[in-house]
Amino acid sequence: RIAGGELQARTARGCSPGTTFSVRNLFYNAPVRREFLRSEATEASAITAIVTQYALAYPEVRFTMLVDGRMVVQTSGRGDMREALIDLYGLDVARQLLPVDAAHGDDEQAVAVRGLVSPPGLTRSSRGAIHLFVNRRAIQPRGQLTIVLEEAYHTLMMKGRHPVAALDIRVHPSMVDVNVHPTKSEVKFRDTTRVL
């Protein structure tokens, strides 16, 4: 148990393998921080988005998220991205998604893209269902990668509509800089043209 940043107690507990986090009264000793929080629903939505990203980046890990005792995220952990998408978006959406599996180059120049994208008829009004990863690190659905993804649909999708996508781009770690944003949610490629 940790309270106020201090380890209060360490006890052995019997449970299935894995790690469980339970967060309560997060800012009890920092009321100034609490003033800057939005509504509980908005904060829960932001946390759900993060858990969703991790569930797609690591489909071999089972994720369960409860908010006020209500299940909001639960994935199987079977190791398949489509299975994770079924758990997160439902069978109807996941069964329509098209596989992407492409690679070029070798050694340190290799670029591989794997994942699933929606057909032009399956869209959303926001980019909230675009999940992009670089070496399994979630990045924000804005910038050049998103532009390239949406340009691939060009005239096939109505203006203001966005695809459903979960894509992981794998590059050699030396080819990407993850330190361009404090939250590490944006990346910069050494050779952007090669990746795009």
Average pLDDT over residues 170-184: 78
In the prediction, which pLDDT does 118 show? 97
> CA-to-CA distance for 114 and 1, rounded, in angstroms?
39
The CATH number given to 98-196 is 3.30.230.10
Cα torsion angle, 72, 78, 79, 84, sign = negative
Per-residue pLDDT, 80:
95
Round to whole Å and give the CA distance between 103 and 86. Answer: 25
Three-class HEC string of the chain:
CEECCEECCCCCCCCCCCCCCCCCCCCCCCHHHHHCCCCHHHHHHHHHHHHHHHHHHCCCCCCEEEECCEEEEECCCCCCHHHHHHHHHCHHHHHHCEEEEEEECCHHHCEEEEEEECCCCCEECCHHHEEEEECCEEECCCCHHHHHHHHHHHHHCCCCCEECEEEEEEECHHHEECCCCCCCCCCEECCHHHHC
Mean confidence (pLDDT) of the chain: 86
pLDDT, tens digit (0-9, with 9 covering 90-100), for 115-155: 999 999 999 999 999 999 999 998 887 778 888 899 999 88
Using pLDDT thresholds of 50, 70 and 90, give the confidence band for residue 9. confident
pLDDT digits (tens, 9 = 90+) for 38-81: 777 788 888 899 999 999 999 999 999 988 889 999 999 999 99
CA torsion, points 117, 121, 126, 127, in degrees to nearest 10?
A: 10
* Domain chopping of the chain, boundaries: 14-96, 98-196
Residues 117, 111: contact at Cβ < 8 Å?
no
For residue 186, pLDDT beyond 90: no
pTM of the predicted structure, to 2 decimals: 0.81
More confident residue, 15 or 110: 110
Q: Rounded mean pLDDT of 23-50?
A: 77
Determine how many CB atoms are found less than 10 A away from the CB of residue 115.
21
Q: For position 168, what pLDDT does the model report?
A: 95
Per-residue pLDDT band at 183 (split at 50, 70, 90): low
